A = this chain, B = another copy of it.
Amino acid sequence: MNKVFFDVGISLDGFIAGLNGCSKNPLGDGGLKIHEWMFKQKAFLSHLKLEGGETNNPDNEIIQAIFDRIGANIMGKNMFDEGEANWPAEAPFHCPVYVLTHQKREPWERPEGTTFYFTDGSIEDVLKKAKQAAGKKDVRISGGARTIQKYLNAGLIDEFSMHIAPIIMGAGVRLFEYIDKSKFSFEINDVIHSPLATHLFYTVKNTV
């Protein structure tokens, strides 16, 4: 059975993006700093068809392992809008991406395997489609925060990972807000650290 997970970079004070994020300010004010550890890694850069980057360290291996498990993505419309303006033509997914939106739009096929499907289905129905598309691989709830929270509150997340950068944002978009904590508990699966970030892996025990 394929799993449903989310994977986020986060600051020490709990922000996964800065304030004022939009297509001209991707990840919001100061938000790029949260992912600085990732931008240095070969697995990330090569996903964007860029050269260089570090290899043979836990950070790089973690990124590679996460990319390798993804068979389909689900994202909110805001995240898509930010990405559409900033991703290269070869959008960095290389598998189907379901965009939650009421706006009707034909599927948008990009080079190198990414196709965006625009849907106003329920989050449950979209997940069913994504699971089917993912085959034996897993489904990533890509973001943003509100989309992750919806899936978490609906009891639809099996696992998640967080990469804590040792920085203070002070303000921005929080991951853990609007969460109905009565619906699940978390178990610590694994923790790996490097000088750049601390990688935490949790399993969700849903009670709904």
Interface residues of A (CB under 8 A from B): 12-14, 164, 166-170, 174-177, 179, 181, 185-188, 190-191, 193-198, 200, 202
Q: Which residues from chain B contact A195 at a C-beta distance below 8 Å?
A: 187-188
Q: Which residues of B are found within 8 Å of A177, using beta-carbon distances? A: 13
**Cα distance A200–B169 in the bound complex, in angstroms:** 18
Q: State the main secondary structure of chain A at its contact with B.
A: loop
Q: Is the CB of A167 within 8 A of B179?
A: no
12 A-B pairs in the complex with CB atoms less than 8 angstroms apart: A12-B176, A13-B176, A14-B14, A14-B176, A164-B200, A166-B186, A166-B187, A166-B188, A168-B176, A187-B195, A188-B196, A191-B193
A110 to chain B, nearest CB (A): 35
Q: How many copies does the complex hold?
A: 2
Contact yes or no, B193 A167, CB < 8 A? no
Say whether B188 contacts A168, CB under 8 Å: no
How far, in Å, is A55 (CB) from chain B's closest CB?
20
Which residue in B166, B194, B202 is a CB contact (below 8 Å) of A166? B202
Please, which residues of chain B bring their CB within 8 A of the CB of A176? 12-14, 168
**Which of A193, A196, A197, A202 counts the most B-chain CB atoms under 10 A from its CB?**
A193
Task: Name 11 extra pairs, CB < 8 A, besides A13-B14, A188-B197.
Answer: A12-B176, A12-B186, A13-B174, A13-B175, A166-B187, A166-B202, A167-B186, A168-B176, A188-B196, A190-B193, A198-B198
Contacts of A14 in B (CB 8 A): 13-14, 176
**Are the C-beta atoms of B181 and A170 separated by less than 8 Å?**
yes
